[in-house]
Amino acid sequence: MSIVSRLCPVICRSICLITALVLSGALVNQAAADRVKVDLPDGSRWRGETGDSVKVTVQAGRQKKTHTGTLKSVERDYILLAVNGEDMPIFLSEIVSMEATDAQPPATDPRPDADPDGDESEDGQDEAAAADSSDANAQPPAGGDSESSQGDSSLPANLQYDPADGMPIFYLPMEGGVGERFREEEIRAIGREMDKLGPGQTLVLHINSPGGYVAEWQLIWQTIKELKKKHRVVAWVKTAISAAASTSLACSCIIFETSGALGSITTLAGAESPLSVQLEGVRELKQVLREGGYSEHFAMPFKLNMGLLTYDKDPETGEVTFYDDMTGDHILSDASHVLTINTREAVDCKFAIGVADSKEEVAELLNMGGWNEVGSGQSTFDNWQRACDDVEEDIQRYGSKLQRLDQNDVKDLNEAIRIIRMFIRCWDRAPNICFQKIPPKSQLELMLEEAQRRLRDIRRGG
């Protein structure tokens, strides 16, 4: 359904209202609103209008937050809320409660079938009212309805999807060392694709990494924070150690594989004040944990082997309480090692929302209605891995050879020029792989000029 088609009912109602007011001698500057209903996960139904001021409490994993703003629209799987001038998509599956903040809040039905607003007439059904309410709540998700999402020529083919197969899911494997094969550029590229379908998209990062550079993690953190303003970013963890674990914590929620592991977020430092560097890392990690809705008590055990972490779990409600001492019945860290949490522990203490060993199981945990993959995440990952493989092979094959070439031999100088040019192209193809393995690009360019000058001098007999 096009934007024009969606707006037609609103435009027509506005024209009729303005015409009536003009004829009656009065004109009120008021935008028309749509009556909407929101079916909540607990089986109740919220009713109101677009433009209402509402308070929505959401929970994803252990994260529980309340947002207050203006209701802009109700889509199939999310609502769009205007909060502090920015549009915020909120997934229906994550809503704990929703209420109007006006003096006369709309009723919340205890059952989806209840209809106190008059959707049912004395005959059993008021067809006009039912159709209006149904149309308002049946708007397709961002990206269009079944027909437009399959055939919208304005979208690339890999972004077109059939809603009957479930909500669209963007998928991006994240493997290798953070700062080398695992970097933020790919996340940012898929984020641009998500924006083309509008707010409220889901990105699954499939993480398998031993960690890496803190500097790269800082870039990843900021990129994910920006994406989370409009979309949901999910960490699907196989192995997430150090900076890869921090990446997982920055996401909207975490899913573990059966044999998953996450933690040991240590910071490598030189001889100068290593403990102070680690403690600064603890402070930063606490901020990441707060943003994700996790207990700050995880920060010290994840960073250093001097943090205690235990928890209690209410047998009736399942509510978990964490302690930074040995008070709790369940021990996660006894300060004898840096914490790496496994799948059983993560699920039991609600650190993770569940376990999945297949894409279909991930979709089920996220209530997506099936795995409906869109975007270029897999091909982006594959292309980047091939580039890394090629560059690593070139560096290994020619790196030491370059050092052995005779600078006074024409044949060797020609070979040196060829290798230097190849290494310059390596920096263009996979700069993260080149770092600390071959000279910087600027130095290579100077080496190339010197080799070419030397070759000219030899040929002139100089």
Helix axes 243-250, 214-228, angle to 10 degrees: 10
Cα–Cα distance measured from residue 290 to residue 44, given in angstroms and rounded to the nearest whole number: 30
Span 10-23, mean pLDDT? 40
Specify the pLDDT at position 89. 84
CB atoms within 10 A of CB 206: 21
Specify the amino acid at residue 53: S
Specify the pLDDT at position 22. 39
Is the pLDDT at 237 greater than 70, yes or no? Answer: yes
Q: Is 258 helix (H, G, I), strand (E, B) or coil?
A: strand
- What sign results for the dihedral spanned by CA atoms 321, 322, 325, 329? positive
Is the pLDDT at 272 greater than 60, yes or no? Answer: no
Span 222-232, mean pLDDT? 94
C-beta of residue 93 within 8 angstroms of C-beta of residue 367: yes
Specify the amino acid at residue 155: L
Query: Percent of the chain, pLDDT > 70?
Result: 79
Q: What is the DSSP string of 74-112?
A: E-SSEEEEEETTEEEEEEGGGEEEEEE-SSSPPPEESST
Instruction: Provide the Cα torsion 402, 404, 410, 413; round to 10°.
Output: 20
- pLDDT class of 13 with cuts at 50, 70, 90: very low
Q: What are phi and psi of 245, to 5 degrees?
A: -65, -40
Query: Comparing C-alpha atoms, which of 341, 435, 450 is closest to residue 388?
Result: 435
Specify the pLDDT at position 12. 46
For the chain, how many residues are written?
462
pTM (2 decimals)? Answer: 0.72
- In 81-231, alpha helices (H): 127-137, 146-151, 184-196, 214-228
- In 263-370, alpha helices (H): 274-292, 299-303, 343-348, 359-365
Specify the pLDDT at position 153. 60
The number of CA neighbours under 13 Å toward the Cβ of 58 is: 21
Specify the pLDDT at position 33. 72
Assigned token pair, 38 = 């929101």
Candidate CATH numbers 3.90.226.10, 2.40.110.10, 3.40.50.720, 3.30.70.60; the one for domain 156-264+343-375: 3.90.226.10
C-beta of residue 171 within 8 angstroms of C-beta of residue 187: no
Degrees, nearest 5: CA angle 116-118-124: 105
CB atoms within 10 A of CB 274: 12
Span 32-51, mean pLDDT? 82
Assigned token pair, 78 = 């999310």
Cα–Cα distance measured from residue 208 to residue 186, given in angstroms and rounded to the nearest whole number: 15
Is the pLDDT at 19 greater than 60, yes or no? Answer: no
Specify the pLDDT at position 142. 43
pLDDT digits (tens, 9 = 90+) for 138-165: 333 444 443 445 445 688 898 998 989 9
Is the pLDDT at 244 greater than 60, yes or no? Answer: yes
Specify the pLDDT at position 169. 97
CB atoms within 10 A of CB 128: 10
Domain at 35-137: CATH architecture: Roll (2.30)
- pLDDT class of 15 with cuts at 50, 70, 90: very low
pLDDT digits (tens, 9 = 90+) for 204-213: 999 999 999 9
Is the pLDDT at 274 greater than 70, yes or no? Answer: no
C-beta of residue 209 within 8 angstroms of C-beta of residue 176: yes
Is the pLDDT at 358 greater than 50, yes or no? Answer: yes
Is the pLDDT at 2 greater than 60, yes or no? Answer: no
Residue with tokens 């030397």: 454
Q: What is the largest CA-CA distance in the chain?
A: 107
Cα–Cα distance measured from residue 147 to residue 140, given in angstroms and rounded to the nearest whole number: 10
Let me know if 42 is exposed, middle or buried by CB neighbors in 10 A (0-12, 13-18, 19+): exposed
Query: Comparing C-alpha atoms, which of 7, 49, 37 is closest to residue 137?
Result: 37
pLDDT digits (tens, 9 = 90+) for 252-271: 999 999 999 999 998 765 44
Specify the pLDDT at position 29. 38
Task: Write down the mean pLDDT value for the chain.
Answer: 82
Cα–Cα distance measured from residue 292 to residue 315, given in angstroms and rounded to the nearest whole number: 25
Span 308-336, mean pLDDT? 94
pLDDT digits (tens, 9 = 90+) for 363-391: 999 999 999 999 999 999 999 999 999 99
Q: Is 177 helix (H, G, I), strand (E, B) or coil?
A: coil
Assigned token pair, 298 = 């995880």
Cα–Cα distance measured from residue 369 to residue 367, given in angstroms and rounded to the nearest whole number: 6
Specify the pLDDT at position 269. 52
Buried b (16+ CB within 10 A) or exposed e, 302-319: bbbeebbbbbeeeeeeee
pLDDT digits (tens, 9 = 90+) for 81-128: 888 887 888 888 788 889 888 644 444 554 444 444 444 433 444 443
pLDDT digits (tens, 9 = 90+) for 401-438: 988 888 889 999 999 999 999 999 999 999 999 988 99
The residue that leads in pLDDT, 336 or 281, is 336
Is the pLDDT at 132 greater than 50, yes or no? Answer: no
Q: Is 347 helix (H, G, I), strand (E, B) or coil?
A: helix
